[in-house]
Amino acid sequence: MASHAAAATPADTTGVTPGQPANDHPAGWSWSTEPLPTRHGIIVVLRLGGEIDMLNQPELQTALTDTLTGRPHHLVVDLAAVTFCWVQGLVLLADTAEIATGNGTGYALSGLPAPIRRHVTLLWGDAFPTTYRTTAIAVSTIRADHTR
């Protein structure tokens, strides 16, 4: 099971691995990983939930870093259950695209709630990482791109 604290163990490649928010952070913040094996490697879906703010941004950083450390073929960050994301959280998500690319990992965001999507559009326009309406669309598109 992955943990947000100091030393996290890699995600189990057989199913969903929930993240555990630290006790001093607000309830409602959560994350989990779901590895999806493909012929070309693992697509990891990192599902985030609740509010992303300055109190749990270090945990978001850890979740992203730990997930990329496993060198998945592709990382999809699912934001469908996120109710708030402060601008520094969006910056972190955008910066992670560069890190993923440097590691040879594909990177996309999915399920951006309308208010977050509006902020992304205002701040980054087309320069923000690839986004998909849903995680299902993201995963099926990634899989289809690898069969060509």
Note the pLDDT tens digit of each residue in 19-78. Answer: 544 444 455 789 999 999 998 899 999 999 999 999 999 999 999 999 999 999 999 999
Sheet containing 74-85, strands listed edge to edge, beginning at the edge strand earlier in sequence: 17-18, 30-38, 41-52, 74-85, 106-110, 131-132
Pick the CATH number of 17-127 from 3.30.160.270, 1.10.8.60, 2.40.100.20, 3.30.750.24: 3.30.750.24
Indicate the burial class of 107 (C-beta count within 10 angstroms; 0-12, 13-18, 19 or more): buried
> Phi and psi for 18 in degrees, rounded to 5?
-80, 145
> Could you give the CA distance from residue 145 to residue 148 in angstroms, rounded to a whole number?
6
pLDDT digits (tens, 9 = 90+) for 3-20: 333 223 333 333 445 554
The model scores a pTM over 0.75: yes
The identity of residue 6, as a single letter, is A
